[in-house]
């Protein structure tokens, strides 16, 4: 898929639970651990709303596929 744009997908390599933070980190070219820490701080600050957003993101964002040719 060499269309010249990146697609947000859940990561298979940088996965802790569902790969959402790893996929966001790869998409933004930042360390996935940093994304996880920011997500954790936002979740704690919003009384757990971040957990609901994470679950929704895990259901909506497609999983990364291995393309071998």
pLDDT tens column, 7-33 = 888 888 878 888 899 899 989 999 999
Amino acid 6: pLDDT: 82
3-state secondary structure the chain: CCCCCCCCCECCCCCCCCCHHHHHHHHHCCCHHHHHHHHHHHHHHCCCHHHHHHHHHHHHCCECCCCCC
**Predicted structure pTM score:** 0.76
Band (pLDDT 50/70/90 cuts) for residue 1 is: low
Residue 65 has pLDDT above 70, yes or no: yes
């Amino acid at each position: 898929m060499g269309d010249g744009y990146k697609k947000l997908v859940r990561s298979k390599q940088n996965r802790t639970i569902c790969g959402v933070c790893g996929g966001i980190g790869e998409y933004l070219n930042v360390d996935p651990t940093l994304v996880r820490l920011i997500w954790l701080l936002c979740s704690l600050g919003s009384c757990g709303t971040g957990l609901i957003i994470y679950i929704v993101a895990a259901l909506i964002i497609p999983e990364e596929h291995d393309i071998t040719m």
